Each structure stands twice: as C-alpha cells, then as structure tokens.
C-alpha cells in the first residue's frame, strides 16, 4: 500500500524528525496536532493542522483533537468495499498513523497527584491506534520509535509503499501497546482506590522440549520490559532446553549470584548439592563436586566467572575409558574461552549456556496456584543480627557465616547446610533439603558431610579416620534455614562432632534449645532472619 497521507501525534518525539523528513521528501501529506505540529514545523517540515481535517478546533485544553467522524473514517473505511461511500462523504484516506500515548506510566512512577494522572489518560491516541490497527490491511500504524528504522527501510525499498507483512506486524504491536497502556491505568486506579491488582504481560513464547515430565508440553515466555530475562539465555551447543532444565539453571545461577569470589554450584532438582567459592576456579569446581559426587551425575553446573579449558578438563570428557567421564546435563557461565568451548563439545548432548549470574534481575517472586497468584518481595537479606547465644564464634570467619547463609537460602526447606573453610576456600560439605522433618534434614546433612570428609581423608590419610573427622567436623558450621523447635537437632549435631550452629532463633523453646547448646558445648549464633524456600 502506497502511503500518501500520514497523521503524526506523538508524546515521545524521539527520531520523529528524520521520519517526517523522509515522508515529506516523498510527497506524503503530513497531518499533526498540538505540540507535535509545533515540533515538526520548527524543524522546517510542512504540516497540515488536524482542525482542517476534522472541521473543528482543538478544544478543552487539548482533550479534543483527533476524535472525530472524519479522522476515524479516514482510518477505518475499507478501501475496496467502501470507496464510493467514502468519496460521497468527502472522506480522504489516511494511510499512516504515527502515535504514542500520553506518558501515564512515567507520570505515575513520579508519584503524581490524582488530577495529573487523570489528565495523562490518552483517549484520542488509543482510538486512532486501534482504528489503524483494525484496518491494517490498508493502514500502517507505528507506536514506538524503535520501529521507525525498519519502517523507513521498507518505505525506501518499496518506493513509498509498505508490505502487508510489515503492516500486520505493526498491527500486533499496536494492540499490545494499547492493552499495556490500559492495563497500567487500570492497575493505578485500583491502587488509588485501595484495591490490590496485578496485570502481567508475557511475550515471545517458545516451546520447550517437554514439561516437568515427558508427556507434558511446556512453553517459556518472557516478561515484557524485563531488563534481563533468563528467556534470553544463549545456547552455544546441545539440545533444546526442557521445563526442568530452566528451573535447575535458575537454581544454579541463584546459588552463585551473591558470591563475591569465583564460585561454582552443582545443582540437582533445583538444590545445590555442591557449592564452593575461592580464588582458583578449578579448585572451586573440585570442592563443589566433592559435596556430593553421586548426586552430581547428570547435574547442572553454574559458574560466576568466565571458564577456560583448564577448568572444564576436570570433567574428562575426552577420556578413552568412558566410565571416567563425568556426565553433566548443562553448564552455564558468563563466558568461555574458545579452547574450553571446543573441549566441552566433546559431549555432543551437553547444553552449553551463556548467562552472567550477576544479570539475574532482583524482582518480586511470583507463584501461580489454582485460580490465583502469590507475590512476595525477594529473599535478599542474609541476617538481621549476629547474636552469639552460646559459646564463642571468634574462630569462625564472617566470610564462612555469609557463605553458609547464602547456601542454605538456596536449598529447599526444611534445609540444613554444613559448610567448611580451608586455605581461603569455602565449600558445602553436606546438606539436607526439602524434608518435612528438620531432624531428618540434619541427619542427611551430617551423613553427606561425613562422606565429604571421607574423600578428603582418603586423599591424604596422614591421620587415623576418627582423629581426622573429629578435627574437621569441629571446625565446620551447621546452618539451619529456620529455628530449631526442639533441642533434638542440637543433640544430634553434638553427637556427631558439630561445634558451631547458626540459626535464626524465634522459637518459643529458644531458651530450652540454648540451654541444651551450653550443656553440650555447642557454640550457637542467632541471625533473626528465616530463609524458608518452598
């Protein structure tokens, strides 16, 4: 469709001058309103005032400009079926609408007074946009400066015309634009009247390999206007991702996101079964893997630093004896040296992903439940206080406490983490996750910590096992995501050589738990912050 006549009325005037110059150069008549008209005229562009089309002046402080039979008819009439009727009524077609709306959302974010909000509700703009979008078979509509370059390219390449495919694409954008606009207004007005409401817009849905199970289908959507989104994760190699892959990758990235030092997480079923941080990333990977080598089979590995070949050679993917190769499903890191990338490709099905954990957006947590939506602020606080309620913590570094809390907050509740520190490296020795009984979670964490230390002992054997175990476990830190309701967890920890416990406190039996810790020579610290993760 050749463009002969355009209506331009924009709040955001970004790049509007180059667009208007191109239209004028190609003989397109430009109709405009109010501030847009002045802006174009100041740049030397010839503009027809909207009132010459409507037959009426702009009125009521600008509330009435484009709303008219003449304008909407010029946009809406079917160029084939209604041509004779339009000529009889004196309606001249408008072929292009360039319009973006009053900045209601921006004004609302600044905390504007209610009356100012009302004045920033656009009426004529959405009407024009929707009219042009409905009649996209003949009319082009542009609602974002981001689309001007592609329009201008179309316009130049087609001698002043625009293709059907482009018009259809712009139509979809236009209806989304007005839907989002009305959604923001409705939500803001709900807030003004004390009603909590939530409207979310997700776009760019893409099919995943399958859902939580093979017989389930799954789609991954992007939250509109999200600065960073896992939806945009880059896949350098390997199969398409599944629903579970996305959840596990999320858990892995969150596990290393807050670590200041080079860090690695080994994740299975969204839980870090291995986690470590320290100076050398290869050593960090080895410590993380040692957290639970059995569970690490088929795991997701996440790093918070760029990866080189010396690090990934740990997986022995080129070993002639295939039993020596370490099988992992996914590796994700901020980047890869070329030699590391080529080495990882030895595993033809390994998904190699690029994403920087630091880019994970700090957004509210949403959880859909049948017929409803839960929303909460993120768990972004490690502790409220560090109150020693039993013994002495002078031998435990602040870095280890922080590491342990970062670990336990990423483990499903009920959660217990046992962490250790040696020569500048901090690591997860054992964890109990997702247990309905905290005592069972503690048993599991101790059992895994024992296995961790057994591997360390077998590498050196410079002391007898019991001596080595008692020395190492006495330096470890047991962290609970929530308070201990009874002394039984303290008694179990003490019976297995644990000397240091960190928990939030807050139980009605805190006094009883503290007394038990003192009797058993357990050093105990209260943080005042619970870290449930359901």
Active site residues: 134, 269
Whether 270 and 182 map to the same domain: the answer is: no
So what's the pLDDT on residue 111? 87
Which residue reads 């077609």 in tokens? 93
Please state, in angstroms and rounded to a whole number, the distance separating the CA atoms of residues 202 and 221.
Answer: 6
Residue 257 lies in a domain: yes
Chain centroid offset of residue 82 CA: 48
Q: Does residue 388 contact residue 514 with C-beta atoms inside 8 Å?
A: no
Please state, in angstroms and rounded to a whole number, the distance separating the CA atoms of residues 357 and 100.
Answer: 35
For 139-166, give the DSSP string: -EEE--GGGHHHHHHHHHHTTTB--HHH
Whether 241 and 323 map to the same domain: the answer is: yes
How many domains does the structure of the chain reveal? 3
pLDDT in tens, 494-521: 999 999 999 999 999 999 999 999 999 9
Write phi, then psi, for 263 (nearest 5 degrees): -140, 155
> 36: buried, middle or exposed (CB in 10 Å: 19+, 13-18, 0-12)?
buried
Q: Does residue 92 contact residue 4 with C-beta atoms inside 8 Å?
A: no
Residue 371 lies in a domain: no
For 282-324, give the DSSP string: HHHHHHHHHT-TTTTTTEEEEESS-B-HHHHGGG-TT-SSGGG
Of 11, 24, 127, the closest CA to residue 73 belongs to: 127
Q: List the beta bridge partners of residue 202.
A: 223
State both tokens at 111: 């905390």
- Say whether the peptide bond before residue 414 is cis (omega within 30 degrees of 0): yes
Torsion angle defined by CA atoms of residues 438, 440, 443 and 448, in that order, rounded to the nearest 10 degrees: -100
Domain containing 182 equals 5-192
Q: What CATH code is carried by the domain that includes residue 517?
A: 3.40.140.20
> 385: buried, middle or exposed (CB in 10 Å: 19+, 13-18, 0-12)?
exposed
**Long-range interactions of 396-399: CB distance < 8 A, separation 24+:** 396/477, 396/500, 396/523, 397/421, 399/426
Q: Is the sign of the CA dihedral 429, 433, 438, 439 positive or negative?
A: negative
Residue 368 lies in a domain: no
Please state, in angstroms and rounded to a whole number, the distance separating the CA atoms of residues 182 and 176.
Answer: 10
State both tokens at 334: 């901020």
Of 302, 209, 294, 213, the closest CA to residue 263 belongs to: 302
Q: Does residue 399 contact residue 521 with C-beta atoms inside 8 Å?
A: no
Whether 248 and 393 map to the same domain: the answer is: no
Residue 110 lies in a domain: yes
Which residue reads 């020569």 in tokens? 423
So what's the pLDDT on residue 187? 92
Residue 533 lies in a domain: no
Residue 95 lies in a domain: yes
Q: Does residue 249 contact residue 279 with C-beta atoms inside 8 Å?
A: no
Whether 281 and 389 map to the same domain: the answer is: no
Q: Is the sign of the CA dihedral 527, 529, 533, 534 positive or negative?
A: positive
Q: What CATH code is carried by the domain that includes residue 135?
A: 3.40.50.1380
Cβ atoms < 10 Å from Cβ of 481: 26
Torsion angle defined by CA atoms of residues 34, 36, 39 and 42, in that order, rounded to the nearest 10 degrees: -60
Residue 319 CB contacts under 8 Å (≥ 6 apart), including other chains: 325
Chain centroid offset of residue 39 CA: 39
Whether 353 and 392 map to the same domain: the answer is: no
Whether 402 and 463 map to the same domain: the answer is: yes
Which residue reads 């297995």 in tokens? 496
Strands (E), 63-185: 96-100, 140-142
Write phi, then psi, for 50 (nearest 5 degrees): -55, -30
HSE-CB of 373 using CA atoms within 13 angstroms? 9
Residue 475 CB contacts under 8 Å (≥ 6 apart), including other chains: 395, 420, 421, 499
Task: Give helix 281-290 / helix 438-460 axis angle, nearest 10°.
Answer: 120
What secondary structure letter does DSSP report for 380?
Answer: -
So what's the pLDDT on residue 462? 74
Residue 459 lies in a domain: yes
Whether 233 and 187 map to the same domain: the answer is: no
Q: List the beta bridge partners of residue 225.
A: none
So what's the pLDDT on residue 491? 95
What secondary structure letter does DSSP report for 506?
Answer: -
Residue 53 lies in a domain: yes
State both tokens at 250: 């999320």
H helices then E strands: how many in the chain?
A: 19, 21
Pinpoint the alpha helices (H) of 326-385: 338-344
pLDDT in tens, 397-422: 999 999 999 999 999 999 999 999 99
So what's the pLDDT on residue 323? 87
Whether 387 and 464 map to the same domain: the answer is: yes
Whether 37 and 79 map to the same domain: the answer is: yes
Whether 351 and 421 map to the same domain: the answer is: no
Please state, in angstroms and rounded to a whole number, the distance separating the CA atoms of residues 265 and 300.
Answer: 8
Please state, in angstroms and rounded to a whole number, the distance separating the CA atoms of residues 76 and 62.
Answer: 23
Please state, in angstroms and rounded to a whole number, the distance separating the CA atoms of residues 61 and 118.
Answer: 13
Chain centroid offset of residue 213 CA: 23
Q: Does the reported pTM lie above 0.95?
A: no
So what's the pLDDT on residue 402? 96
Cβ atoms < 10 Å from Cβ of 167: 21
Whether 69 and 165 map to the same domain: the answer is: yes
Whether 404 and 520 map to the same domain: the answer is: yes
Taking 70 as the pLDDT cut, the residues of the chain under it are none
């Amino acid at each position: 469709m050749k463009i002969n006549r355009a209506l331009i009325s924009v709040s955001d005037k970004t790049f509007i001058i180059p667009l208007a110059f191109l239209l004028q150069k190609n003989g397109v008549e430009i109709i405009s309103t109010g501030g847009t008209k002045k802006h174009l005229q100041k740049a030397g562009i010839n503009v027809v005032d909207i009132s010459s089309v409507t037959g009426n002046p702009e009125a009521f402080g600008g509330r009435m400009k484009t709303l008219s039979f003449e304008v909407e008819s010029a946009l809406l009439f079917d160029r084939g079926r209604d041509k004779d009727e339009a000529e009889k009524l004196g309606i001249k077609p408008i072929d292009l609408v360039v319009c973006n709306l009053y900045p209601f959302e921006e004004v609302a974010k600044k905390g504007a007074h209610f009356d100012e909000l009302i004045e920033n509700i656009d009426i004529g703009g959405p009407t024009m946009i929707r009219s042009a979008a409905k009649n996209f078979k003949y009319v082009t509509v542009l609602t974002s400066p981001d689309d001007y370059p592609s329009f201008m390219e179309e316009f130049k390449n087609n001698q002043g015309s625009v293709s059907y495919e482009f018009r259809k694409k712009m139509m979809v954008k236009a209806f989304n634009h007005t839907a989002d606009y009305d959604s923001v207004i409705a939500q803001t007005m709900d807030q003004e009247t004390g009603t909590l409401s939530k409207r979310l817009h997700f776009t760019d849905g893409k099919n995943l390999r399958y859902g939580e199970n093979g017989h389930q289908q799954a789609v991954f959507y992007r939250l509109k206007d999200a600065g960073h989104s896992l939806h945009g994760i880059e896949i350098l190699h390997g199969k398409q991702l599944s629903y579970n892959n996305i959840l596990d990758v999320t858990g892995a990235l969150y596990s290393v996101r807050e670590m200041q030092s080079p860090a690695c997480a080994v994740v299975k079923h969204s839980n870090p079964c291995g986690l470590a941080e320290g100076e050398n990333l290869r050593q960090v990977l080895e410590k993380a893997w040692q957290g639970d080598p059995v569970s690490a089979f088929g795991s997701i590995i996440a790093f918070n630093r760029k990866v080189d070949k010396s690090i990934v050679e740990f997986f022995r993917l080129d070993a002639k004896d295939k039993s020596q190769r370490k099988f992992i499903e996914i590796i994700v890191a901020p980047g890869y040296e070329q030699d590391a990338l080529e080495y990882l490709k030895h595993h033809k099905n390994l998904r190699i992903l690029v994403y920087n954990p630091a880019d994970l957006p700090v957004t509210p947590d949403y959880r859909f439940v049948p017929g409803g939506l839960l929303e909460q602020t993120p768990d972004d606080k490690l502790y409220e206080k560090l109150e020693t309620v039993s013994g002495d913590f002078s031998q435990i570094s602040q870095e280890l406490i922080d590491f342990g809390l970062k670990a336990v907050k990423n483990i499903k509740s009920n959660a217990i983490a046992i962490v250790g520190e040696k020569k500048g490296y901090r690591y997860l020795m054992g964890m109990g996750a997702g247990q309905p009984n905290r005592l069972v979670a503690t048993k599991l964490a101790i059992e895994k910590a024992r296995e961790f230390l057994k591997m360390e002992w077998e590498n050196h054997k410079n002391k007898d096992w019991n001596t080595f175990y008692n020395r190492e476990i006495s330096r470890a830190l047991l962290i609970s995501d929530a308070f201990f309701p009874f002394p039984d967890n303290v008694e179990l920890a003490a019976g297995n050589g644990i000397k240091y416990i960190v928990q939030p406190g807050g139980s009605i039996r805190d006094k009883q738990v503290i007394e038990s810790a003192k009797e058993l020579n357990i050093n105990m610290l209260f943080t005042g912050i619970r870290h449930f993760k359901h």
